[in-house]
């Protein structure tokens, strides 16, 4: 999916919503089998209940690969149920030397045909560039994350006075373009979004942390939106586990509706 198509979906649905499919078989309702088939059935119903509201879906790969072969089968089947009009994100946080990154890129862009994959940029340009050789595919680079440990490195000051996360944004923005590169900016750091937009005004941002992690939709839109919209705002647990009863799909839809308005 290219930038123009992504922008069209945001406008058509009047939504920035990305739903994270962080599906834990221990948390899905008891009406499902506690195995990969139950995982797929749960995902299918969540997708069917929300796909008119969501611009994107983001399976967190850890929840699938932790189950071995069955987990990879669950991921493959889940992708079959995501409509073509929805952007897909492999939340894999990969990043390695060039020849290894080429294999990761092949995994998520050829074997599974995701629209995008999240990348950890610590190893530099040669760990990111193999992902940028694909047409109409996106790299989503970790820029400023919402976890507690973000302060360990991301806010450290460099000799030139900038913070590490700012240097990451500036340098990584040079690897690709606004047509194939996005950045992860955590919603619990929404007060920094204004500063982020000074550095990367035109890039799309994937913003996790809305809902269960405490970030607010209003604050993210106020500080992070640009002329093209420029946002994919993710909620995972808050939507997936809105109810553990038979009404789980209806409850998920209600949560999605609350987060889908621009």
The residues annotated with a catalytic role in the active site are 93
Q: Please say whether the beta carbons of 117 and 85 come within 8 A.
A: no
Count the residues in the chain: 262
Query: CB burial class (10 A; 0-12, 13-18, 19+) of residue 91?
Result: buried
> Token pair of 220, please?
């993210």
Cα gap 230→227, rounded to integer Å:
7
Residues 55 and 86: their CA atoms lie apart, in Å, by 5
Answer for the pair 136, 1: CB distance below 8 angstroms, yes or no: yes
DSSP H helices, 82-233, are: 98-106, 125-128, 164-172, 193-199, 217-224
* Alpha carbon separation from 244 to 32, 39, 125, 247, 248 (Å, rounded): 11, 14, 43, 8, 6
The span from the CA of 139 to the CA of 204, in Å, is 11
Residue 136, by phi and psi: left (phi above 0), alpha (psi -120 to 50) or beta? Answer: left
Q: Is 207 helix (H, G, I), strand (E, B) or coil?
A: strand
């Amino acid at each position: 999916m290219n930038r123009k198509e992504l922008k069209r979906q945001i406008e058509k649905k009047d939504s920035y919503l990305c739903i994270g499919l962080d599906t834990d078989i221990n948390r899905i309702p008891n009406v499902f089998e506690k195995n990969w088939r139950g995982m797929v059935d749960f995902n299918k119903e969540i997708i069917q209940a929300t796909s008119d509201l969501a611009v994107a879906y983001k399976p967190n790969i850890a929840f699938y690969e932790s189950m071995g072969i069955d987990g990879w089968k669950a991921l493959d089947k889940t992708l079959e149920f995501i409509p073509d009009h929805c952007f897909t994100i492999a939340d894999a946080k990969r990043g390695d030397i060039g020849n290894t990154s080429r294999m990761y890129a092949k995994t998520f862009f050829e074997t599974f045909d995701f629209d995008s994959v999240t990348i950890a940029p610590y190893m530099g340009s040669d760990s990111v560039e193999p992902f940028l050789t694909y047409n109409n595919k996106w790299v989503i680079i970790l820029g400023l994350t919402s976890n507690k440990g973000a302060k360990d490195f991301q806010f450290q000051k460099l000799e030139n006075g900038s913070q590490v996360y700012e240097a990451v944004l500036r340098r990584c923005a040079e690897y690709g373009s606004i047509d194939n590169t996005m950045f992860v900016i955590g919603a619990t750091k929404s007060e920094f979004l204004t500063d982020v937009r000074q550095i990367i005004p035109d890039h799309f941002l994937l913003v996790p942390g809305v809902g269960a992690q405490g970030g607010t939709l209003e604050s993210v839109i106020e500080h992070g939106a640009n002329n093209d919209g420029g946002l994919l705002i993710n909620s995972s647990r808050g939507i997936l586990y809105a109810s553990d009863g038979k009404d789980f799909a209806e409850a998920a839809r209600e949560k999605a509706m609350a987060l889908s308005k621009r």
